[in-house]
Amino acid sequence: MSNALLDVQDLRVAYGKIEAVKGISFSVAAGEVTTLIGTNGAGKTTTLRTLSGLLRPTAGSITFDGQPLETVPAHRIVALGLAHSPEGRHIFPRMTIEENLLLGAFLRNDSAGITQDIERAYTLFPILGERRKQAAGTLSGGEQQMLAMGRALMSRPKLLMLDEPSMGLSPIMMQKIMATIIELKSGGTTILLVEQNAQAALSLSDRGYVMQTGRIVLSGTGAELLRDESVRKSYLGED
């Protein structure tokens, strides 16, 4: 893909002798939302952790904005413009909302820009602004997800990776998170989304990939995958 911001080729990742990702290839175009769907254990989270430098591939290539990432340290990957909002949120519960957000800017030294981006997070998620001095651990699950996304955005990423942002959330809160993803895309943020709610994810995605047991078994536009009979049966709960 000529306008690919992220290009992954023949990626393999193993935990000891167990291969979790088995030679996958996919790309993420600049300005688009791309979704990985699949059942638990398909290798989606492992893929994101490898892209962000938390795991090392055993084979294959990862090219981000023209630069190979296979051996780049995780903190340098963030500096290059790839941010990861992880599954489970991993906020710091005893720190305030604002302190959590500031941690997302740990590689930056432009204080005026950091202040501007904190205010942007509060505009995106008004509830965080109202409670900015509150301990993050006192937030609801949905509010913690907002904080995790806001923290990831504080590095001003070219590509934002979101791992299961709607997990455990109420339908109303899930709708708010999905609406935020649409808003971020409209503002030019490129997004790689891993999401258990395939219907919601594919509905807002430009492109999607279906993973099964470490392999990509199907790909297409979001609309194409929503129409695909096997996807409808396996992931959308239709007979």
Report the pLDDT value the prediction gives residue 238, as an integer from 0 to 100. 64
pLDDT in single tens digits along all 239 residues of the chain: 458 999 999 999 999 999 999 999 999 999 999 999 998 899 999 999 999 999 999 999 999 999 999 999 999 999 999 999 888 778 899 999 999 999 999 888 899 999 999 999 999 999 999 999 999 999 988 889 889 999 999 999 999 999 988 888 788 888 888 998 999 999 999 999 999 889 999 999 999 999 999 999 999 999 999 999 999 988 876 65
The boundaries of the domain holding residue 10 are 4-235
| Dihedral sign (CA 69, 74, 77, 81) | positive
Residues 28 and 192: beta-carbon distance below 8 Å: yes
Helix 171-186 vs helix 141-153: crossing angle, to nearest 10 = 10
| Dihedral sign (CA 95, 101, 103, 104) | positive
pTM of the model: 0.90
Report the pLDDT value the prediction gives residue 1, as an integer from 0 to 100. 46
Report the pLDDT value the prediction gives residue 196, as an integer from 0 to 100. 86
The CATH number of residue 221's host domain is 3.40.50.300
Domains held by the chain: number? 1
Residues 232 and 238: beta-carbon distance below 8 Å: yes
- Structural tokens at position 90: 């991993």
| Dihedral sign (CA 219, 202, 18, 5) | positive
